Structure 1
Amino acid sequence: MKHIKTIAFDADDTLWHNEPYFDEAQERFCELFQDYASSQEILGLILNHQVKNLPLYGFGIKAFTLSMIETALQLTNNTISGKGIEKILTIGKDLLQKPVELMPNVEVVLQELKGKYKLIVATKGDLKDQHRKLHDSGIGHYFHHIEVLSDKTELDYTKMLGRLDIQATDFLMIGNSLKSDVLPILNIGGYGIHVPYHTTWEYEKIDFKIEHENFLALSDIAEILKVLDIK
């Protein structure tokens, strides 16, 4: 990785905590509809609606909230009251106001990398929400560019690199999702580092092991400094 010029970081569950907030929101939803189905069944329905709706709504809290509403309609056979819809909207609005808590060692790593590499954020989700979180995080000044993608496919990354005039062979992507942050980049000739988070959205899981000369799996984001011979 000695010729790497640009390093991109995923945001949610790489730079700051995120998935536990969604887990909490789903628990609140399950409590609302515990008389209709088991938590496992409800979570399965939410996931099915989320995946089905991705081409229409994309990723993020607003899409998640709409999928919860559709799940509620299905569970209640379209008889849910306006008050019930209001409770679901409150869950979504609460998610949009969660505090931003940085992952351990993130700022230390960014301080060391700034000036040595071009740093960017490449993330999915709601544009407004992701910019809000980056602002609240206090680390926005470390980055040369912020990219909020509608998805993270090979084509999405290729278009992003083209817009930024970056060669894939000079590009390193760091993230917690093998499916979104690593595999597409490896497939277009870039480098990928996986820093796992303790919980992963079901949609982002893969069922096979990655073996690639441009891939590394680390247990902590601080290990990146050793990989790049900075510390």
Structure 2
Amino acid sequence: MPISTIAFDADDTLWENEEFFRLTEERFRDLLTEHVDREDIAKDLLETEKRNLRYYGYGIKGFTLSMIETAIEVTGGKIPATIIQEILHAGREMFDHPAVPLSGVRETLQTLHGNYRIVLITKGDLFDQERKLAQSGLGDFFDAVEIVSEKEADTYHRIFDQYGDGPARSTMVGNSMKSDVVPAIEAGAFGVFIPSQITWAMEEAAPPDGHERFHQLSNITQLPDLIEQITSA
């Protein structure tokens, strides 16, 4: 059956995102170097983020709160208020970064728009994701936008049933093997992996090598040709 619906991840698929988190993390580590080893800070922050996902979800707010909590823990509660203020300021600066489409994104969406149902499926803070979509200028290309708390097989099943013709005729495109590719394939859709330069440790997973519905591209501009190949196979 031909592909009728194409879904895209947002962060680090359509625009840069993880780079700003890593830059802020480096700034955070600089603030705490007088109190604890830099490598230990990175490990402690990651563990705090993992623990806090169930409370704060994904995004800048949760990351900022995790930095504050980590700073309090690694200093035994002795972190100066001025450093907490710096952390809050760094978090606000992350919100101020504009969402600029990555190279080839706009052209690819223009090529696919009108020929397929185009859906944006992203997880994270509702306000932040809506802001980035508006700033990117890409909103008009999407027939639907879903901002979800997690991306699991059931998530893709529901969305592809609601906005498309079911998972079998749908494709999910993204930079996260764990969130974009594997669960979409588990739901019965095609999964297209486009690696980004930086990947958050919690988004890494083993690729489903050999699966007939798994594809990997080096650049998003290759997507229209791949969709045509899948459809005509």
| Aligned amino acid, residue 151 of structure 1 | E
Query: Structure 1 stretches of 5 or more lacking a match?
Result: none
**How far did residue 162 of structure 1 move?**
4.1
**Pair 1:168 & 2:204 matched:** no
Q: 1:180, 1:53 → 2: CA distance?
A: 18
**How far did residue 99 of structure 1 move?**
1.5
Q: TM-score w.r.t. structure 1 length? A: 0.94
What root-mean-square deviation, in Å, do the aligned CA atoms of Structure 1 and Structure 2 show?
1.5
Q: Residue in 2 aligned with 1:4?
A: 3
**How far did residue 55 of structure 1 move?**
1.1
| Aligned amino acid, residue 125 of structure 1 | G
SS, match of residue 121 in structure 1: strand
Q: Residue in 1 aligned with 2:41?
A: 42
Q: Which moved more, 1:9-18 or 1:205-214?
A: 205-214
**How far did residue 165 of structure 1 move?**
5.6
Q: 1:207 to 1:113 in 2, by over 3 A?
A: closer
Correspondence 1:10-89 to 2 at 5 A: 10-89=9-88
Q: Which moved more, 1:93-102 or 1:78-87?
A: 78-87
**How far did residue 101 of structure 1 move?**
2.0
Q: Residue in 1 aligned with 2:127?
A: 128
Query: Structure 2 stretches of 5 or more lacking a match?
Result: none
Q: 2:2, 2:159 → 1: CA distance?
A: 20
**How far did residue 38 of structure 1 move?**
2.3
CA contact (8 A) 2:4 2:164 kept: no
- Higher fraction of helix: 2
Q: 1:103, 1:59 → 2: CA distance?
A: 21
SS, match of residue 103 in structure 1: coil
| Aligned amino acid, residue 177 of structure 1 | S
Correspondence 1:138-149 to 2 at 5 A: 138-149=137-148
Q: TM-score w.r.t. structure 2 length? A: 0.94
Q: 2:187, 2:132 → 1: CA distance?
A: 29
Q: Which moved more, 1:182-191 or 1:151-160?
A: 151-160
**Pair 1:212 & 2:215 matched:** no
**Share of identical aligned residues, percent?**
39
Aligned residues: 229
SS, match of residue 228 in structure 1: helix
